[in-house]
Structure 1
Amino acid sequence: MAAVESAVYNLLGVFHKYSAEEGDNLKLNRSELSTLLASELPCCYRDDAMAMLDLDGDGQVDFMEFIEFITDITTELQDMYLNNIRRYKRPPKFGAQTRSEKAIVTLIKVFYKYAGKGGNPLSLETKELRQLLRKQMPTLYPCLEGNSQFKEILQNMDRRHPGQVDFKEFMSLVANFAVAVESSFLNDLDSDDEEEFDE
């Protein structure tokens, strides 16, 4: 499986592994969130994590809130990555141990593997973004390439720097893809349940 898609599926797997432990298996309660952070993202473990992640105030964290948190963490780590390159002239060695940490590091490395070939090393030009999507997000690429949606997404991402996509914008695209995969997964589950009920 392509690296970005694999990272997304790993994050989905981690979320559902912990959300399924008690109560609503599509949301993390305080205990599940605490266990997930301690096990998967020890660098981000905080006692007030629920208040930070629970954006809608319902006392639980759904996948959309979780992936937004992952986007923020990844963007912060990417800043550390850049600072290390500026200071030491080499990328840092991330000591990624867990599935979540490895997924985050993969997203950073993939972005910089494609960025800068045509100029700015801190952003993806349209051609570089197309290459990245084609090779690292092959499930999404045909959907975008086959219709006007791709142009629309690029226009929305291009507002600040026309023709270039920075890391935060790339992570927004990854987060949207992750939410779409999650929705598709849930729809498949609902369809399976309906078929069982019909029988």
Structure 2
Amino acid sequence: MPTQLEKAMDTLIKIFHCYSSKEGDMFKLNKGELKLLLQSELTDFLSCQKDPQLVDKIMKDLDANKDNEVDFNEFVVMVAALTVACNDYFEEQMKKKGK
């Protein structure tokens, strides 16, 4: 039976490939696939953002090798960064409650 962390890792992989397999290279997200993933899977995050160029900026930041696509490694960097930011926010809120 898989552990919680193993299930989480499996979920990340499945979500990435669910969107990357829609067009073109099935192992990379193009801009449209990335936008769809962000809109479908990170709705709360995007709803707080007002920048109409947000997807373009995220794509540019993630695309480390500048091939205009996001591979799984580049995708995981985004998920890790967002997870760290959420944890930082959670810790800050807990500190405020403790005071």
Same fold, TM exceeding 0.5? yes
State the alpha-carbon separation in 2 of the partners of residues 28 and 12 from structure 1. 13
Report what 1:76 is aligned to: 85
User: Which one has the largest radius of gyration?
Assistant: 1
TM-score by length of 2: 0.84
Report what 2:15 is aligned to: 14
Query: What are the Cα deviations for residues 97-122 of structure 1, in whole angstroms up to 9, with x where unaligned?
Result: xxxxxxxxxxxxxxxxxxxxxxxxxx
Query: What are the Cα deviations for residues 140-190 of structure 1, in whole angstroms up to 9, with x where unaligned?
Result: xxxxxxxxxxxxxxxxxxxxxxxxxxxxxxxxxxxxxxxxxxxxxxxxxxx
Query: Identity rate of aligned residues, in percent?
Result: 35
Listed as ranges, the matches of 1:178-197 within 5 Å are none
Runs of at least 4 residues of structure 1 off by over 6 A? none
1:53 CA displacement: 1.1
State the alpha-carbon separation in 2 of the partners of residues 82 and 28 from structure 1. 32
Query: What are the Cα deviations for residues 55-112 of structure 1, in whole angstroms up to 9, with x where unaligned?
Result: 11100000000001111111111100100110124xxxxxxxxxxxxxxxxxxxxxxx
| Residue 97 (structure 2) aligned to one of 70, 73, 88 | 88
After superposition, the CA RMSD in angstroms is 1.3
Aligned residue pairs, count: 89
**Where do 5+ consecutive residues of structure 2 fail to align?**
none
**Where do 5+ consecutive residues of structure 1 fail to align?**
90-199
